[in-house]
Amino acid sequence: MEASPQLVEYFRTQMRTDPDMASAVAAIRTLLEFLRRDKGETILGLRESLKWATDCLTEVDSSVAVSSGGELFLRFISLTSLEHQDLSRCKKVMEERGELFLEKISLSRTKVAKLCHTFIKDGAKILTHSSSRVVLRVLEKAAAEKKRFTVYVTESQPDTAGKQMADALRRLNVPVTVVLDAAVGYVLEKVDLVIVGAEGVVESGGIINKIGTYQMAVCSKAHNKPFYVVAESFKFVRLYPLNQQDVPDRFKYKADTLRTVSDLSDEHPMIDYTPPSLITLLFTDLGVLTPSAVSDELIKLYL
């Protein structure tokens, strides 16, 4: 099919213009634009080309959220009566639903922040991992509510994303310390709670996130500290990993690595899987969920 480089260019432009936007939201905007420009003749052809477009985007950005966001977008717009005779009417309906979906998910971070900030008490010490825009939004809201708290951020090798998080927090006048990834066990006794973001939430209620999250979860469990996850609902994905090995390779490594490197055994994976037994609560725009409730929500979303 045509228009693949246009698609990728549009996606990259979206990501550049608003760096605060989640990559999945950019992907969904791209898919909506693709839908508008598509000149297909049948509904089935439309669905096929949307699936193909999602695959193209996952080749650019291999994060779990892009693939889950794309699939949910497709389901949401098709979850309506498409019995109209006229194809353009059907397309219009799908476009309207697509815009509705986009609107809903743009508000999701605010909803999550509203639910989560009450769990941060005055004087709390928080530990977080790497750089997550949702966690940043939660901490912004808590700071806006005039709560005093300190944050420990892990440096998060190999891309030292933790430093970006620290900079953003310093701009909010929140006292922040960057710690080594290896120092998580050391710092946990000082900490009251752990909040992390997620790249994907899987069917079991576990999460897929930047490498180092699993370690942090195991240490929190050992220290009996609550381990909270904040994630928007479009990150819910129909995957069920049994252990670290079971996570598909296409999510573990960056898209460029997958394309260029043939033998992946030398590469470091960028993500890991945290099982639901280590997670206390998940804050999503669907509400505050226990890990076992995630499966219920997924069944509602997908069935």
Partner 1 sequence: ETQTKCGTISLFSHLHQYSRKAPLTQQLSIPSTVIHPSIVRLGLQYSQGIVVGSNARSVALLHAFKQVIRDYTTPPNEELARDLVNKLKPYISFLNQCRPLSASMGNAIKYIKKEISNIPSQFKEEEAKTKLQKCIDCYINENVVLAAKAISKYAIKKISDGDVILVYGCSSLVNHILCEAYDKSRKFRVIVVDSRPRLEGREALRRLVQRGISCTYVLISALSYILPEVSKVFLGAHALLANGYVMSRVGTSQIALVARTFNVPVLVCCETYKFCERVQTDSFVSNELDDPDDLMVTRKGKTQLENWHDVSSLGLLNLVYDVTPPDFVDLVITDLGMIPCTSVPVVLRVKNLEQ
Residues that bind partner 1 (CB under 8 A): 203-205, 238, 240, 242-243, 246, 276-277, 292, 295-296, 299, 303
Distance of closest approach, residue 94 Cβ to partner 1, in angstroms? 26
The three-class DSSP label of residue 79 is coil
Residue among 9 and 246 whose Cβ is closer to partner 1: 246
Angle, to 10 degrees, between the axis of helix 43-60 and the axis of helix 64-78?
170
Distance of closest approach, residue 209 Cβ to partner 1, in angstroms? 19
Distance of closest approach, residue 250 Cβ to partner 1, in angstroms? 14
Tokens found for residue 217: 């979860």
Distance of closest approach, residue 241 Cβ to partner 1, in angstroms? 10
Q: Are 159 and 122 in contact (CB under 8 A)?
A: no
Residue among 55 and 296 whose Cβ is closer to partner 1: 296
Distance of closest approach, residue 245 Cβ to partner 1, in angstroms? 8
Tokens found for residue 42: 């049948």
Cβ-based neighbours of 218, under 8 Å, separated by 6 or more: 278
Helices (H), the chain: 4-17, 23-37, 43-60, 64-78, 87-106, 108-116, 133-144, 161-171, 184-187, 213-223, 249-252, 255-260, 291-302
Residue among 59 and 203 whose Cβ is closer to partner 1: 203
